[in-house]
Structure 1
Amino acid sequence: MSAPRGQFSSNVGFLMAAAGSAVGLGNIWGFPTKAAGNGGAAFVVVYLVLAFLLAYPALMAELTIGRHARSNMVQALRGVAIGPFSRLFANITGFGGIIVASLILSFYSIVAGWMFAYLVEPFAAISGATGAAEWLTGSSVSRNLLFTGMFSIMTMVIIASGVEKGIERWSTLLMPALIILLLLLIVYVLTQPGAMTGLEVYLMPDFSLLSPELLISAMGQAFFSLSLGVGTMLIYGSYLSKQESLPRLGALVTIIDVGIAFTAGLLILPAMYVAQEAGTQIFSEGGELIAGPGLILQVLPALFDTMGTAGLFVAIAFFALMTIASLTSSISMLEVPVAFSIENLGLRRRGATLLVGLVIFAISTLIIFNFDALFGLVISISTEYGQPLLGVALCVFAGWIWRRDQLLTELKKGHENIETTLFWRVWPWYVRIVCPLLILAAFAQSVLVG
């Protein structure tokens, strides 16, 4: 007997959960450094435009299918399929989404474990446990296993508590904490020597760097920053009340996501140039700004070390920020396979969470023991190939397979006059033709260039 489906109790709860899913580690370190390497404000402007031209329409496809079906990704896509071929396509896409979400979470938990370990390290340093502090910031199998496991348990505890008492409650607690920490760190960093140089790099446009490559990069960032393609937003949409206006909620999620991504840039870029002012190398040998884990685990900790006692508290605040961002994203990814296990396999939520969580942790363990061979491979398969192709498939379902009258009926719930709006005049053909082409263009560029 499957457990009854949950539902978000308020718009605020949904917005915090959806924004938390979108705002993850990649948003906080990926967007700012991409902006810095692609013309600063020129990239920012293009990104903001494309977030609404590409990401918002694709987000609406997931939310609408999810709320209509009120079920997991596999069942939802089967529900809009109209024949044997489209049902097969629904199975491939649905199970593909579950697999890709699980793979993303398997490597994401490892990286989140690093953030958690770095959060604990200042406490070890304050207490005089220098050996433990070195172990926490080292790269050992035992450290990675322990903190990946601890982070996985936190994620599982939240998901096991259900939609309202787990996902919604913790999202509404964690997201405000994330925003407050982000703003406090920005205020502090902007008072440091070198910060204004980073701010100038981030905010002063260099339109001479505008290029097809920049457009594709901004397009990919806009799409992936909303965690589209793997069914997280489809699942969250399935927990929405029929009385809510989907176009309005989708727009609010997009605004919150790009707003936090932009705000993160006000922290990361100035912090990098503060680190340079303090004598830390922030450019690679090729002359590019260091990004990704190298930025978070090398450049910024080196900066914190130069700040003395204050650096310990700044490090705690920063890695608390990164851990919270990790957790708000991980709970949405775990919910994708858990929802399927509850509704299709008849498991209770706690049992489904434990089973799925242990399987994903087993994949993480396999990656940890074969790190050089598997870590980059799993990232590439899931994010560079799986996510964009699944995004195209979901646009095909919303634009080509789902009957237009059923689509309109669903959108009219919570927005009765939607037929007369610009949204209805543009979105159906836009998600049918423009979105798939744009996503495929970004996919082709990332595969060919990457």
Structure 2
Amino acid sequence: MSAPRGQFSSNFGFLMAAAGSAVGLGNIWGFPTNVAANGGAAFVVVYLILAFILAYPVLMAELAIGRHARRNMVQALRGISTGPVSRGAGTLAGFGGIVVASLILSFYAIVAGWMLAHLADPFVTLVGAERSAEWLTANSAARNFTFTAIFSGLTMAIIAAGVEKGIERWSTLLMPSLIILLLLLIAYVLSQPGAIAGLEAYLMPDFSELSPELMLSAMGQAFFSLSLGVGTMLIYGSYLSKQESLPRLGALVTLIDVGIAFTAGLLIVPAMYVAQEAGTQIFSDGGQLMAGPDLILQVLPALFDTMGTSGLFVAIAFFALMTIASLTSSISMLEVPVAFCIENLGLKRRPATLLVGLVIFCISSVIIFNFGALFGLVVSVSTEYGQPILGIALCIFAGWIWRRDQLLKELQEGHPDIEKTLFWKIWPWYVRLVCPLLILAAFIQSVL
């Protein structure tokens, strides 16, 4: 007998949890560096459009399937299937989502561990422990293992507390903290020399930069920034009350995610130009923008070093921001396999969390001690291949397999007159035809 399911106690709790799942390191560093590497403000405009014409419809598919089934991804997709073939495909896609979410979390926890280590560094520096500070900022297997373990433990502790007392409570604490830190850092960075040049690059579009490659890159960013394709939003949807309007909540989640990604750009892009003004190299010898870990762990700490003592406090605020963003995303990823273990294997939440968390930590450990061979491979398999394929599968289930009368009935919960709205006239065929083709185009572009 499965354990009783939790439920979000309020709209605000769901919005903070769903936005927290969407807002992660991909928003805080991925979006701004994609902006800088892909035409600046022109990329921003295309991204904002695509977030609503691609990401929002797929998000709605996940939320609707999840709330209808009130089960984990495997059982949810099997539940809306209409025959043995579609049930088999649902089982395969559901397990695929669990595997991909677990793989993403296995490397994500390592990167989040880097953020934790860099968060500890200013505190250690303030007390004069220079050797410890060097260890914290040097990329070693021992450092990575230690802080991945700490971050994994934090994630497991939140999930073990349940939906309302764990996911919802911590999301409602962490997300407002993230927004406050982000705004404070923006105010500080924009007061520094060089920031205005970065702001112009970010906000003044040059549409001559538009290209098919830019549009496909923006499409991929819009899709992946909302944590779509691995069942996190499906699981969160399964904890929603039937009284809530799914189209309205989905639109709010998309707005919050896009808003925070855009706001993060107001911090990162000007900070890059401030760093350049201070003498820090932000472009490689080949003229390419330093992105990802090179930007977060080399360019910005070098900028903080030029600020003297105040730079320590700015570094604390920045890496606290990065850690919070990591944690709000990691809890949603861990919930995907944990929900399966609770509902299909009959485990209680705490043992299920411990079991799944330790298995994923073991995968992280294998990656840490074989970093050069495995890290990039796991990232590529899970995000470049796994997520788009699963995203297409979810669109097929929502658009082609799920009976239309059942879909309409589910959407009418909390929105009785939805059949008369523009949403119902467009969304069903849009998620059936347009979304799979757009995701497929982005997938092919990323592979080629």
TM-score (norm 1): 0.99
CA distance in 1, matches of 2:107, 2:80: 32
Q: Which residue of 2 aligns with 1:10?
A: 10
CA distance in 1, matches of 2:78, 2:224: 25
Q: Which residue of 1 aligns with 2:192?
A: 192
**Cα deviation 1:245-297 (Å, max 9, x = unaligned):** 00000000000000000000000001011101111000112212211000000
Q: Which residue of 2 aligns with 1:58?
A: 58
Q: Which residue of 2 aligns with 1:272?
A: 272
Q: Which residue of 2 aligns with 1:315?
A: 315
Query: What's the offset of the Cα at 1:197?
Result: 0.8
**Cα deviation 1:125-158 (Å, max 9, x = unaligned):** 0001000000000011111110000000000000
Query: What's the offset of the Cα at 1:302?
Result: 0.2
SS at match of 1:82: coil
Q: Which residue of 2 aligns with 1:426?
A: 426
CA distance in 2, matches of 1:345, 1:284: 50
Query: What's the offset of the Cα at 1:81?
Result: 0.6
Q: Which residue of 2 aligns with 1:85?
A: 85
Q: Which residue of 2 aligns with 1:346?
A: 346
Query: What's the offset of the Cα at 1:352?
Result: 0.1
Q: Which residue of 1 aligns with 2:105?
A: 105
**Cα deviation 1:200-245 (Å, max 9, x = unaligned):** 1111111111011111001000000000000000000000000000
- For 1:168, the aligned partner's letter is E
Q: Which residue of 2 aligns with 1:390?
A: 390
CA distance in 1, matches of 2:368, 2:37: 31
Q: How does 1:129-140 map to 2 (within 5 A)?
A: 129-140=129-140
**Cα deviation 1:351-409 (Å, max 9, x = unaligned):** 00000000000000000010000000000000000000000000000000000000000
SS at match of 2:5: coil
SS at match of 1:3: coil
**Cα deviation 1:310-364 (Å, max 9, x = unaligned):** 0000000000000000000000000000000000000000000000000000000
Q: Which residue of 2 aligns with 1:400?
A: 400
Q: Which residue of 2 aligns with 1:239?
A: 239
Q: Which residue of 1 aligns with 2:94?
A: 94
- For 1:64, the aligned partner's letter is A
SS at match of 1:282: coil
Q: Which residue of 2 aligns with 1:285?
A: 285
CA distance in 1, matches of 2:349, 2:405: 34
Q: Which residue of 2 aligns with 1:120?
A: 120
Q: Which residue of 1 aligns with 2:331?
A: 331
Please tell me whether residue 165 in structure 1 is matched to residue 169 in structure 2: no
Q: Which residue of 1 aligns with 2:250?
A: 250
> Which moves more between the two structures, 117-126 or 28-37?
28-37
**Cα deviation 1:185-207 (Å, max 9, x = unaligned):** 00000000000111111111111
SS at match of 1:271: helix
CA distance in 2, matches of 1:168, 1:146: 27
- For 2:419, the aligned partner's letter is E
Q: Which residue of 1 aligns with 2:25?
A: 25
Q: How does 1:219-238 map to 2 (within 5 A)?
A: 219-238=219-238
CA distance in 1, matches of 2:31, 2:63: 24
Query: What's the offset of the Cα at 1:37?
Result: 2.0
Report how many residues are paired: 448
Q: Which residue of 1 aligns with 2:181?
A: 181
CA distance in 2, matches of 1:200, 1:329: 30
- For 1:46, the aligned partner's letter is V
CA distance in 2, matches of 1:2, 1:353: 15
Query: What's the offset of the Cα at 1:13?
Result: 0.1
CA distance in 2, matches of 1:334, 1:306: 38
SS at match of 1:287: coil
CA distance in 2, matches of 1:176, 1:442: 32
TM-score (norm 2): 1.00
Q: Which residue of 2 aligns with 1:39?
A: 39
CA distance in 2, matches of 1:170, 1:26: 20
CA distance in 2, matches of 1:151, 1:393: 31
CA distance in 2, matches of 1:311, 1:194: 17
- For 2:260, the aligned partner's letter is I
Gaps of 5+ in 1: none
Gaps of 5+ in 2: none
> Which moves more between the two structures, 129-138 or 196-205?
196-205
CA distance in 2, matches of 1:204, 1:30: 20
Q: Which residue of 2 aligns with 1:70?
A: 70
Q: Which residue of 2 aligns with 1:152?
A: 152
- For 1:49, the aligned partner's letter is I
CA distance in 1, matches of 2:154, 2:391: 28
- For 1:303, the aligned partner's letter is L
SS at match of 1:2: coil
Please tell me whether residue 367 in structure 1 is matched to residue 367 in structure 2: yes
Q: Which residue of 1 aligns with 2:411?
A: 411
SS at match of 2:184: helix
% identical aligned pairs: 82
CA distance in 1, matches of 2:343, 2:48: 37
CA distance in 2, matches of 1:37, 1:337: 35
Please tell me whether residue 259 in structure 1 is matched to residue 232 in structure 2: no
CA distance in 2, matches of 1:3, 1:406: 26
Query: What's the offset of the Cα at 1:84?
Result: 0.8
CA distance in 2, matches of 1:350, 1:2: 13
CA distance in 2, matches of 1:337, 1:264: 30
Could you list the runs of 4 or more consecutive aligned residues of structure 1 that deviate by over 3 angstroms after TM superposition? none
CA distance in 1, matches of 2:2, 2:68: 20
Pairwise CA RMSD of aligned residues?
0.5
CA distance in 2, matches of 1:222, 1:37: 16
CA distance in 2, matches of 1:265, 1:213: 20
CA distance in 1, matches of 2:190, 2:323: 22
